[in-house]
Structures are given as structure tokens and as C-alpha cells.
Chain A
Amino acid sequence: MADDASELVVETQHLTKIYQNRQIALNDVTLTIEPGSVLGLLGPNGAGKTTFLRLVLGLHRPTAGWAKVFGRVMSPNAADVRRRVGYIPTNPQFPKGMTPISYLDYIARLFGLPADVRKPKLATLIRAVDLLPHSGDPIVHFTPGMTARLAVAASLINEPDLLIWDEPTHGLDIEARRSMLELIKTLAAEKTLILSSHNLTDVDEVCNHAAVLNKGQLIFSGTLQDLKGRIKKNHYELDLDGEQKAITKAVAALRGLADFKQVLLRQRRLEVKLGDDTPNSALLAQLFQVLNDNKVSLITVRSVGMQTEQAYLDLVEREENRGFARLYKDVEAA
């Protein structure tokens, strides 16, 4: 972790990147990331997520503003700060003709790790990411899942305090994606993470903070709960069990209740939309009571639409509709 618990891990101020006076990739982004955060960096394609990460790493130089990591302004030559950072690019590329052992040894040497530290470390990591049977095979023949696991090992070899992973689940199959998410959850206990992702389900599962970029501008920065709190939780789906006659009767009873705006039954799946005037917990209690009175069992209940996804879409849509008002309003942060 950071030397000082109060030290900000990442701090950007008016961070702006304009490529060759032709493309505004990032526009006046001011953001702070505290130790222990797992930040999901969200945004559509071309929103500036990768540019932001590259500026934070010092791979790009800002056109205006600055990015500090562990209190130091990042620049292309800030090698000592990057020793505390583990990075996975979107599509990791590997030098030709290398095996996992030679590649991890190379990466460890790039961090300046002496042989007595790096050799045991790389062996442990190869074992941990389950590449032991392939440790001598050329990387060029690896599947995307194996490549992703190797990239994870490379990003952890220097025992970084900050992990910056650009779309780590991109191109992975279900099993590899699940492993990656579990690893992120484990790492989140002791490290600060920035995850750029298109997959809002992943962000929902592993992140506690979110930052949303749209067309190079930061339109939200705060906790994931704050982001979710922006949408109304009033749309539910329930899978029911019991006699069809009893279910129909229960549905009829629900339709008679005032605050149930919409009650739809498709076979044994019930979809309800609740009104905004009464707390949804009270209305759900009523619903369960009606089901119980009619001897209808409940198999599953879920909120319709992924909350984070809905909140994200709402944010982007609202930002699109703001027009020239963007000029005057600040970022909506918690």
C-alpha cells in the first residue's frame, strides 16, 4: 500500500490530451483515487479511457494539466514511480521468441529486480497463474486466456501497490473471465486497482468506485453505490411456482393495488413496476404477502436491468442531452 495511508494513489488535475491538434482525447479531467479503491473506468469506445491510463502511466505526455501517482508527477522518465505500478494493456503484446520464463525474467529485469529476488518470484507467479506446464513453450502459440494469465503475472512481478488493468477480461472465455474476477477480488484486499472495462457486470462485481468518461470528459466520479443510487429501483421480475390458478388469482390481486403501476404475467414469470410515492420495500412486502396468501411460492426475484448499466446509460444519455450546459456544470461527484 502507499507509504502514507492518507496519500492519494492517483491525482489528476485538469488533465487534457490533444493529439497533434487534431483529436481531443481527454478534456480537463480532475480525479483522485484513494488507497484501497477499486475504480472501474467506464465509457464508450473512444471515450478516452486508454488515453487516461497512458497519461497516468507516463506513456503519454499531457497537453495540459498533470497526473500524479503516489504524489509524483508522471512523466516518460518517472521509472521509479512505475516500479510501484503493475500494468496490463488492452491487447498485451509480447516480444517474439520468448517463453513465460524468459518473458517474466525480462519484465523483472526491467523493474531492476536482482536475480535472487526475481527468479523465485517468477517461478511462484507462473505456478499461481497455472502456466507451469507451458512455462517453456513459446508465447506466440498461447491462447488468449493463457496470454491474459501471463500478462497478469507480469503485472504482479514487482509487487505493485497500484494495478492498472486495461480491459483485463477482454476476449476471455467464461471460465477465464471468472478466474480473472476472483483474482481481482483477492488483490483488491491489499492493492489499489484501476480497471478499464466495457463490461459493466464485471465492474459491478469487483469495483467499489467508478469514473465515467464520455467523449474525453469525466461525467461521473464517485462510489459505485452513488452511481447506482441515481436510478429508481422500481422494476422487478419474479419467477413463481404453484398452481396456475393460484398465480392468476395473485396477479389479479396485485393489479388491484394502487402503487403497482404495471403487473405482467408471462407463464410463471411475473414482472412488476412499482410507483415512486411509497418506499419500494413496503410495496415488495405487500407483494410477498399477496403471494403467500394465494399459496404461491417464489423461486427467484431480481431487479430488472443491471443497475450499474442502467445508471451508466442514464449518465451518458443525460450528458448527451445537456448541450451547451456542459460548459457550466461541474462533474457530478459524490
Chain B
Amino acid sequence: MDQPAVVTVRFNKFLPYWAVLQTDLRQTLRSWVYRLWVFMTVVAAAGFLLYRVGVHKEAGIFHSAAGQCGDLFRIMVVGSLAVVVVLAVSAVGAERGTVADSVLSRGISRHQYFLAKWHARLAVVVATFAALATAVLVASYLLFKSDAESDLSLGGGLAAVVAVSAVLAAIVSWGVTVGALANGTVLGITVFWLVLYGAGFLLSLLPEPYPSPDRELARLKFVLMGHYNGGLLTNLVLGSVVLSGLAAAVGVLGFGKRDV
């Protein structure tokens, strides 16, 4: 008697990673936290730009474009930080004990799950910030390019976007790791907020040679004018890559040993 044909299913071992990545991207983009963040940033940026156009066209008063964009960037970063922390920490933390049951009980390893979540949140936060910041810079540049006193440089703008994105990438990476290792999402968010804002406050008390978030953000207007050090920018990006990689390593190893 003929043996029945054996159908062997070839499993795609990267498919679980892509499934979690795509689902998380979609769900993050639909989440109210993300939409609130984008809405508030767009409203603030539009207000700033309209104010500049208004005082320039109507009153003939010129404010430094780089200075205004620098201030806007600072507000965007400080204002976004709270929401970015929520988005990052909740990536893994919010699903533990509920949805994670339905996901991690399938054919996906903890490593793949963590990496997919990390990459999804990293992509959403960095891409969103970069897109919003670039839009602000392009709008500002186009609106005032005919103005002889416009001090905004395209190269400087790009450098500023890259610098802030690098810092955000490191924050998101550590946020996802904290969420994966903390016992609860609220606890993780609270601890991470305290660490970030506390570290920022303590650094601002230190004298000039030490880096301080306040001082670095205040310097953004000079970067936007094109006065930046390429070496420092490269170091910043490399530092972010190292910190993000370290966060991911801690997260992958730690989450692989956690109960969900």
C-alpha cells in the first residue's frame, strides 16, 4: 500500500519577528498616546511658525530663524520626553500577563519578541520626531529663504535633527528595556521618568565642562545656523548606538529570564 505523502511545512524563522514588528508599528500608530504626541507637536510647531510669519510680515520684526527653531526643538524634546517614555516602557511592559500570553506561547522566542518590540518603538519615535522636525525646518526655510537675514542652514538643521534623534533613540532603547524588566508598566514609567528628569536636573547643577541637557538644547540654535562640530556629532551618534545596543543586550538577556 502506498504511504501517504508527507507534507513538510517549512517554517520561516524570521516571520514571528516581522509579525510582532508590523503589529506593534500598526498599533502604536493607532494609539491615543502617539496621536496626542503628534497632535500637540504639530499644534506647537504651527503656532511658532505662524507667530514668526505674523510678526515678520505685519510688524516687520525679524526674529532669528535658528533661535526660534532652536526654542521650538527644545520645547518639542522636553514636551515629547514624557510621552516617549510612556511609549517606550509600555512596549513590552503593557502586554505582560495579558496579550503576551497569546503571543509568547506561540512559536516565537523571547529574543525575537523583545527585538521586534524595540525596533518598532525605535522606528516610530525616531521617524516621527525626525519627520516633524524636518517639516518644521523645511517650512521655516521655505517661508524665510528670501529674507536676507535668515540664519537657518540646511546642513545645520539636518545635524540638529540627527543629534536629537540620536538622544531619543538611546532613551527609547532604555525605556523598552526598563519596561521589559520592571514588574509593572506604571512602576517602569515612574522609575524611568525619575531617572531621566532627575539626571537632567542634577547635570544642570554641574559647571560648564560637564554636559547638561539644558545647555546642550540651548546650543541647538548655533547648530541650526550651521556652527557645529562634525566630530562631536559623530561621537554623539556613536554614543547613542553604543548605549542603545547595551540597552538591547540587557533587555534581551533580562527578558529571556523573566516570567511573563
Task: List the interface of chain A (C-beta within 8 A of B).
Answer: 19, 54, 57, 59-61, 76-80, 82-83, 85, 87, 89, 92-97, 106-107, 109-114, 117, 154, 158
Contact = CB atoms under 8 A, between A and B. Distances in A.
Contact of B259 (A59, A77, A78, A106): A59
Interface string B89-124: 000000000110111111111111000000000000
B184 interface: no
B10 interface: yes
B111 A87 contact: no
Given A61-B259, A76-B109, A95-B23, A110 B103 contact: yes
B107 A83 contact: yes
A60 B256 CA distance: 10
Contacts of B257: 61, 76
Interface stretch (B11-19, B64-72, B131-139, B201-209): B11-19
Nearest to B101: A89
Nearest to A17: B259
Q: By DSSP majority rule, is chain A's interface helix, strand, loop, or mixed?
A: loop
Contacts of A89: 101-102, 105
A301 to B, nearest CB: 45
Interface residues of B, number: 34
Given A95-B23, A97-B27, A110-B106, A59 B12 contact: no
A95 B26 CA distance: 11
B102 A112 contact: no
B102 A111 contact: no
B15 A112 contact: yes
B107 A79 contact: yes
B9 A82 contact: no
B18 A109 contact: yes
Contact of B10 (A94, A97, A107, A114): A114
Given A96-B27, A111-B107, A154 B12 contact: no
A76 B107 contact: no
A96 B20 CA distance: 13
Contacts of B26: 97
Given A112-B11, A113-B11, A77 B109 contact: yes
Contacts of A110: 15-16, 19-20, 103, 106-108
A59 B107 contact: no
B105 A158 contact: no
